A = this chain, B = another copy of it.
């Protein structure tokens, strides 16, 4: 098998994003990191991921600046993995996935965890809107492509 074609130089930001975090485990690790996990064994237990794969993924996420490994003063832990600013900016992605999951992947009345505002307990939602604040859906939007002439060959 030839290595997967990299999309890091694609002109579509979604493609580059998927290139960075679109594999099976990365976003699950990020989800757990949002949930406060920082240590190797926490991720491992939570996800049931093989240790070698977790090791490799943490290394990649760190190399891409989504997590950072800090030496970890406390206890037996060798280091802690924390979300960087770049990693925290994945928050809307997590919320979007969660919202879609809630809408379409749970039976009516089936229990699921919820995302709420820490202070008020109110549900958190996500809206796609124009710059001036009007909500918009897929039909109302379109992709403006990069003109071919502006691409560097």
Q: Which residues of A contact B (CB under 8 A)?
A: 4-5, 7-8, 11-18, 20, 22-24, 27-28, 31, 34-35, 48, 65, 86, 88-106, 111-132, 136-146, 150-151
Do A141 and B128 contact each other (CB < 8 Å), given the known contacts A11-B111, A89-B103? no
Once the chains bind, are A122 and B131 in contact (CB under 8 Å)?
A: yes
Please report the C-alpha to C-alpha distance between residue A129 and residue B129 in the assembled complex, in whole angstroms: 12
Once the chains bind, are B150 and A111 in contact (CB under 8 Å)?
A: yes
Q: How far is the CB of A134 from chain B (nearest CB, A)?
A: 8
A128: contacting residue among B13, B23, B104, B126, CB under 8 A: B126
Do A136 and B124 contact each other (CB < 8 Å), given the known contacts A13-B101, A27-B22? yes
Please report the C-alpha to C-alpha distance between residue A14 and residue B112 in the assembled complex, in whole angstroms: 10
Once the chains bind, are A28 and B18 in contact (CB under 8 Å)?
A: yes
Once the chains bind, are B111 and A151 in contact (CB under 8 Å)?
A: yes
28 of the cross-chain contacts (CB-CB < 8 Å) are: A8-B105, A11-B111, A13-B101, A13-B105, A14-B28, A14-B31, A15-B31, A17-B105, A22-B28, A88-B138, A91-B137, A92-B99, A92-B100, A96-B96, A111-B150, A113-B143, A113-B145, A114-B144, A118-B139, A118-B140, A124-B128, A124-B130, A124-B136, A125-B128, A125-B129, A126-B126, A126-B129, A127-B127
The secondary structure that dominates the A interface is: mixed
- Closest B residue to A117 using CB positions: B130
